Structures are given as C-alpha cells and as structure tokens.
Amino acid sequence: CSFIHSPKGFPKLKNDTFLRAARGEETEHTPVWCMRQAGRYLPEFRETRAAQDFFATCRSPKLCCELTLQPLRRFPLDAAIIFSDILVVPQALGMEVVMVPGKGPTFTEPLKEVEDLLKLRQKVDVTAELGYVFQAITLTRHSLEGRVPLIGFSGAPWTLMSYMIEGGGSTTMAKAKSWLYCHPEASHRLLRLLADVIIDYLVGQVAAGAQALQLFESHAGHLGPEQFEDYALPYIRDIAQAVKSKLKEEALPLVPMIIFAKDAHYALRDLASAGYEVVGLDWTIRPQEARAQTGRDVTLQGNLDPCALYAPKEKIGELVKKMLEGFGTQRYIANLGHGLYPDMNPEHVGAFVEAVHAHSRHINKH
C-alpha cells in the first residue's frame, strides 16, 4: 500500500494548460473540461456500467479508471476528473446509500434526530474507508500517460449534510434546513465531522496522484446569505486552509483547488477570498458580473448552461464565443454551469470543446 502515500514515477504531463490557467498563468488557448464528463450520455459508459451496481462501480478502481478515460478518447479535453461520487464520504461515516433506478441515491436510514449523530463513525481512517478512490486515482494517473491532469473532488459539508438528512434529492431541503434553525449546535457538530473527513480525503487524493481538487457545494442555492455565512462558508474556508497546510507538512504538491458553490452568486466575493485558486460558476450569472465581483486574483470556471448543448452545433459555437468574450480567455477555464445530462448528444459535447479551443486561440491571436 506504500505507493498510495508516495506516488513516484508518474508519466510526465504533456498538456498543462488547465493547471496553468488555474494558477493564473498565461495560456495559448482556454482549457475546457465538463462536469459529469464521464457519464450516461456516452453509450460506452452505459455498456461499461450496465451490469454493475453504481456504488460497486465506484469501489472498483479498474472501472473508475475506464470510465474516467472514456470521454478523453472522444474529445480533446484539457483535464480528466476521477469517476466517483460525493456520497462516498457519508458511506465512510457508516451510512448506507443505495442507487435506486429512476430515483437516484437513497439513504436507507437518513439522520432524523440529533441522537442519530452518535451512529456515525467519529474517527474515520480514510485509507481504510476510501482507499478504493485513492487506488482509482493512482491507476488512472498512470493510465492517462500524462495526456492531461487528473482532478480529484469531494462534496462540501453542507451539501453532504443535506443529503444525509433528506435521505436523497429534495427540491426544498426543508428537513436539512430545519436542523440549521432548530439544532444549530448539532448542525455545526455534523459539519465539523464532515469537514475533518473531507480534509483527510482530499489530502489522500493528492498523495494518490490528483493534480487538482474541486469541492462541490452543490446545494448552496438552498441557503440564503446568512445561513451560507454561518453553515457553509466557514467550512469551505477551513477545508482550503487545512488541505494546504497538510500538503505542505507531508511534502506533497500544492495543487490548485476549485470551489463550485451552485446558485451562490450572493457569496461570490466571499468565495473569491476563501483560499481557492478557482471559483466555479453556474449559468445564472453574467461573466462580466462574476469578474467584477471576484477581482483579478482568482481564475473563473464555467458557466455555459448545460441545456445549450441541445442547440444546433453552430449555435453552440456562437454561445461559446460570447462566453469567451465575456470572461476573457485568460485566468479562465471553460466548463458548463452544471453537469452534462444523460440524454445529451456526444457530438454536441465535442462541438462545445472544439469551439472553446478554436475561438480562444482566435481571440488570443487578434
């Protein structure tokens, strides 16, 4: 198991455009990748996953590696993101999650009472509980042969907490939010427990070979500014700070970190100073407005409406050009404002990726 802690001998990186943009260095073209780029919109993904339970797939390093590589065989993407799921962290805390067809991830016993927190593992050995993710990262980093950098990720504490209490997806997050209002102290206890596991998990991903990290605060939009400031932002800040200091302590690479807080434009200024090199944006904000709020010291990532990929290819090109003009081609990573949907046409994903490269090169030349 020693290789997990000292991943030496990885292939030399051939395309570092994504990492340069994340660090704010100049790039010839704007790098591009897609959230959920390894997904059901690819027929080869559906074939690979067909016979498998979803979380069994997540626990197979070989399958995770294969699924991570599939989109790179089709498209000239500038980064790979490891195939996994944010709910592996609640699983590491001892909760059972199953994938229910047509419904999505479902917790067999969600947290109902404050006393339920005692059922959670209070100390998590991430290598024992999540070592399969580390193995998938190491295997994939080797299999990429240096083509592009590999991104690791985790869900953020509030987003994970909301799943653990709701028991699955929810349109209102009313059960989880009622904890914030009725049990503030217990909420902070749970968020702290999650943050501590996430910190170790992200550091472990870098030790295993991840070259960048993204934190998904996917349910930020259910909170207002005050709740976000109390229950989300402190943990988001703390994770960046703690991960960086642990990477230094363990003499591991200081990889760029991305925060993606969906629907949280009210918090963009705070997110820009939360200790992340990159701030991810959903599609509900204008590029110029996002730049104005975040300043020049962070890279922005996003934010094409995923549904734009249903448009004809020429239209996708026009929308990409407009987006690039809005953000500028530097200190910018092109992406969608959320993940790809299962019914999307892979050719349109290709059109998006190619339009980003072509238009950004053109803008840079002129």
d(CA 70, CA 44): 7
Which residues in 112-201 belong to E strands, given as ranges?
A: 150-155
Which of 85, 116, 230, 305 is catalytic? The answer is: 85
Catalytic residue among 16, 41, 49, 331: 49
Distance CA 207, CA 330 (A): 29
Answer yes or no: 49 catalytic.
yes
Cα distances from 361 to residues 165, 263, 298, 313, in angstroms, run 47, 30, 21, 19
Is residue 40 part of the annotated active site? The answer reads yes
In degrees and rounded to multiples of 5, residue 187 shows phi and psi of -60, -45
59 counts as catalytic: no
363: enclosing H helix or E strand: helix 346-365
Cα–Cα distance for residue pair 358/32, rounded to 1 Å: 12
- Per-position b or e across 29-56, b if 16+ CB within 10 A of its CB: bbbbbbbbbbbebbeebeebbeeeebbe
Whether 41 is catalytic is no
How long is the chain? 366
85, 104 contact by CB (below 8 A): no
Catalytic residue among 16, 20, 36, 238: 36
Distance CA 366, CA 202 (A): 40
**163 tagged catalytic:** yes
The encoded tokens of residue 163 equal: 């799943």
Return d(Cα 275, Cα 259) in angstroms, integer: 9
How many alpha carbons fall within 13 Å on the CB side of residue 220?
Answer: 27
Q: What are phi and psi of 265, to 5 degrees?
A: -60, -25
DSSP 8-state code for residue 307: G
Contact assessment for residue 176 and residue 166, using Cβ atoms and an 8 Å cutoff: yes
Active-site residue identified among 41, 163, 276, 332: 163
Residues 6+ positions from 325 with CB-CB distance below 8 Å: 363
Residue 304 exposure: Cα atoms within 13 Å on the Cβ side? 33
Helix axes 174-182, 184-208, angle to 10 degrees: 120
Catalytic residues: 36, 40, 49, 85, 163
